Amino acid sequence: MVEVDETGKTTFRFHHRTDGPVYLVGDFCHWQTDHFPMRRAGDGEWVLMIRLPPGTYAFRYLAAGQWFTDFAAFGVEMNTFQEFNSIVRVPKVKAARAPRFRFRRSAAGRALARSA
């Protein structure tokens, strides 16, 4: 399962009972098999949170030497080995706006307090 929040942080969750290691592998790391190790988060659950640039990426999980497809991701596509890659889409992140403050003034014109 994959979740992308409004800041672009992407959380990958993989459920498979294995002693590991488990890696996230995809075109965002040029399919390097040891670039993104996942951490054990419970019995059979592996998690990795990363920030990816906006775009569409293909990926798979590599657990103890076996490849796995995440069919709960944003979609799948056939790769050149006639297996399915999972797809994740990371949208453009909206720039955070700084809060705007207004100062209340006393009758004499002095600033009393600020409010959002």
CA dist 42 to 20, 21, 62, 116, Å? 13, 14, 18, 42
- The rounded percent of the chain whose pLDDT value lies above 70 is 80
The Cα–Cα gap between 83 and 96 comes to 40
> Residue 66 is part of a domain; what is its CATH number?
2.60.40.10
Amino acid at 77: E
Q: Whole-model pTM?
A: 0.77
* Tally of domains in the chain: 1
Does the structure show a pLDDT above 70 at 115? no
Confidence of residue 81 (pLDDT cuts 50, 70, 90): very high
CA-based Rg of the chain, rounded to a whole angstrom?
Answer: 22
Which has the higher per-residue pLDDT, 54 or 107? 54
Tens digit of each residue's pLDDT (9 = 90 or more) over 23-60: 999 999 999 999 999 999 988 899 999 999 999 999 99
Query: Does 99 reside within a domain?
Result: no
Instruction: State the alpha helices, DSSP H only, in 1-116.
Output: none
Query: Does 22 reside within a domain?
Result: yes
| Structural domain range at position 32 | 2-93
Give the pairing type, strands 66-68 and 55-63: antiparallel
The Cα–Cα gap between 85 and 60 comes to 6
The arithmetic mean of pLDDT across residues 58-71, rounded, is: 96
